[in-house]
Amino acid sequence: MNFEKVIIALDFSSEREAFRIVEELGEDIGFYKVGLELFCSCGPSIVKRLKDLGKKVFLDLKFHDIPNTVSRALNVCLQYDIDMLTLHGFGGEQMLRVSAKMKREVVKMSASTKLIAVTVLTSLDEKDLYNLGINISVHEIVKRLSSLAKDCGLDGVVSSARELPIIKEICGRDFLVVTPGIRSSEDLAYDQKRVVSAREALTMGADYLVIGRAVTSSPSPRNSLRRIFTS
């Protein structure tokens, strides 16, 4: 079974826990997500260790601040030879443009590094947005943020597969869509609301699937990974 479109989320607080999963999945998985918890616990060394093993790294820090602060933080992170990095689309046009410009200007940056914008977290739905005073649909927000990210020079977005068709329609097939919230029909949704199956996401055109607790909290991560793609 080919898992080249799968990114496993190492949502742990220790290097030991993270590399237990990396070791168990072995050659099946070549791409891992390092998020806030693991990066705050281990720092850049966790990225280096994964890269030394020949793995790709998705550094999911979701930068969202004033343009100068994000640009400077991005400048540091691009030195780590990462393969993918996230910003929040809600940071706005100037933040996204400055970030894309920084990516182009960093000499030591790997040419393959992808800069992607988070649209609407899969833990949010229309009710959550309404409580924040946002009275337009998730679908419309994702559409607007995806168009903005493309216009600003980013490589793609993070979005639920439910919005995937419209993103590909307005931004083109080459614009990356990274899809979290992947579950099998038997898995718990945990704190995520807009979840889909792996088959659905791939059928809709997802470029990468981010899978976390459905695999990493399992007694048998490898078996759970295979079940996600067969259920």
| Digit-coded pLDDT (tens) for 51-60 | 999 999 999 9
Closest alpha carbon to 179 in 167, 164, 199: 164
54: phi then psi, degrees, rounded to nearest 5: 85, 15
Q: What is the chain's length?
A: 231
pTM of the model: 0.90
Catalytic residue among 33, 48, 51, 62: 62
Q: Which pLDDT tens digit goes with each residue over 142-197?
A: 999 999 999 999 999 999 888 899 999 999 999 999 998 776 555 544 444 546 78
Let me know if domain 6-228 sits in CATH 3.10.100.10. no
| 62 is an active site residue | yes
Predicted local confidence at residue 104, as pLDDT: 87
The band of 229, judged by pLDDT with boundaries at 50, 70 and 90, is: confident
The predicted structure's pLDDT at residue 231: 65
Does residue 20 contact residue 8 with C-beta atoms inside 8 Å?
A: no
Average pLDDT score, the chain: 89
